[in-house]
């Protein structure tokens, strides 16, 4: 326990709004398991955030548990990491409301994701969509983390969180630790198989490889992957002129550990007809143990429940300490 206390705290969450895919794994999750040796890590299924967009309730429940099983199958040991479901820890919404009152309307209206999601869901521009960065700040600050791993699309949220910390601490003293953005060691940046100019996304399923997908479906997607109109059809890393081939090489390199030079030599003179299925096979073999382990875990409902209950208990204990401090500072009567 003493050794745990010395570790710096890190926290991250992914919304269970769709199935985890190869981009999530190679870009982020693959590197998470190694962090447990260095950091006290909290990883949660951000189910509260998903409902800013209408969800099918049964699908949301299924995806939340599948995501937890996949986290474990990807190497996140529940004994070394705190894994929990966001809605199981009521302190998130309790602190979220308090922080709503310390977040300015102008700050929220400038958030890029609010603008993007409002454009996509014009029939459902709800209050939660507008204020969810305050909930995200609560997600972070409850655990007093030293670091928050961020991609490009989340930097704005961490900046807003830091503004809130400055404002709140400026009024009430040293309540929240100032979190630092943590730029992870570069994981592979995986682009879509049908659109190599944009990141792999569940919103374009034909170009997206899901962790739980059947091997034959994965192979079909790789065989149909966009390459280029190069008449030589040579396997060469050229991001500017051959983005589709470069993306496939990046994926192949990430799952086999081979350098681009080695890949070019391996497929010299063979063309895309040999290269694309080879990438498919390498991805299938990388994902096979993850899929099989996740399927095994999902069948063991008692184990999964034990993991998320223990995770919620630990998370709630840590979050509760922060919340009590905040409630006292703002003037609420202690229960």
Which residues are the active-site residues? 117, 199, 202
Residue 235 near residue 293 (C-beta atoms within 8 A): no
Task: For residue 309, give Cα distances in angstroms to 28, 78, 124, 182, 216.
Answer: 25, 11, 33, 28, 36
Which contiguous run of DSSP H or E holds residue 13?
Answer: strand 8-14
Which residue reads 């300015």 in tokens? 104
Residue 85 · residue 47 · CB < 8 Å: yes
DSSP-assigned beta bridge partners for residue 261: none
- Cβ of 81: how many Cβ atoms within 10 Å? 22
Tokens 């967009």 belong to 53
The greatest distance separating any two alpha carbons of the chain, rounded to the nearest whole angstrom, comes to: 75
- 199 secondary structure, DSSP code: B
61-66-71-75 Cα dihedral, nearest 10 degrees:
150
- 167 near 99, Cβ under 8 Å? no
8 A C-beta contact, residue 209 and residue 22: yes
Q: CA–CA distance from 47 to each of 83, 88, 93, 187, 280 (Å)? A: 13, 10, 12, 25, 32
Q: Quote the CA–CA distance of 123 and 249 in Å, as a whole number.
A: 41
Q: In what order do the strands lie in the sheet with 8-14?
A: 81-85, 39-45, 8-14, 147-149, 180-182
């Amino acid at each position: 326990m003493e050794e745990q206390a010395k570790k710096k705290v890190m926290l991250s969450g992914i919304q269970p709004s769709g199935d985890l895919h190869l981009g999530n794994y190679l870009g982020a999750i693959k590197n998470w398991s190694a962090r447990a040796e260095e950091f006290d890590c909290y990883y949660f299924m951000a189910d509260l955030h998903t409902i800013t967009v209408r969800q099918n309730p049964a699908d949301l429940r299924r995806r939340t548990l599948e995501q937890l099983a996949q986290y474990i199958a990807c190497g996140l040991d529940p004994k070394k990491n705190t894994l929990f479901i966001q809605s199981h820890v009521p302190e998130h919404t309790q602190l979220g409301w308090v922080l709503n009152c310390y977040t300015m309307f102008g700050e929220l209206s400038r958030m890029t994701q609010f603008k993007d999601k409002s454009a996509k869901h014009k029939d459902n521009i709800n209050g939660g969509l507008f204020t969810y960065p305050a909930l995200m700040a609560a997600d972070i600050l409850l655990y007093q983390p030293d670091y928050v791993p961020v991609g490009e699309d989340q930097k704005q949220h961490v900046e807003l969180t830091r503004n809130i910390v400055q404002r709140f601490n400026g009024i009430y003293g040293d309540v929240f630790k100032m979190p630092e953005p943590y730029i992870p060691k570069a994981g592979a940046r995986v682009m879509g198989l049908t659109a190599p100019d944009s990141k792999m996304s569940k919103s374009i399923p034909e170009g997206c490889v899901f962790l739980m997908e059947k091997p034959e479906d994965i192979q079909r997607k790789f065989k149909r992957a966009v390459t280029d109109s190069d008449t030589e059809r040579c396997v060469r890393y050229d991001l500017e002129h051959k983005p589709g081939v470069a993306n496939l090489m990046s994926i192949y390199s990430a799952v086999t550990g081979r350098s681009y030079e080695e890949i070019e030599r391996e497929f010299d003179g063979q063309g895309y007809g040999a290269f694309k299925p080879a990438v498919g096979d390498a991805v299938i073999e990388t994902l096979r143990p993850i899929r099989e382990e996740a399927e095994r875990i999902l069948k063991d409902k008692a184990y999964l429940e034990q993991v998320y209950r223990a995770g919620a208990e630990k998370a709630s204990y840590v979050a509760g300490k922060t919340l009590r401090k905040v409630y006292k500072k703002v003037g609420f009567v202690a229960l």
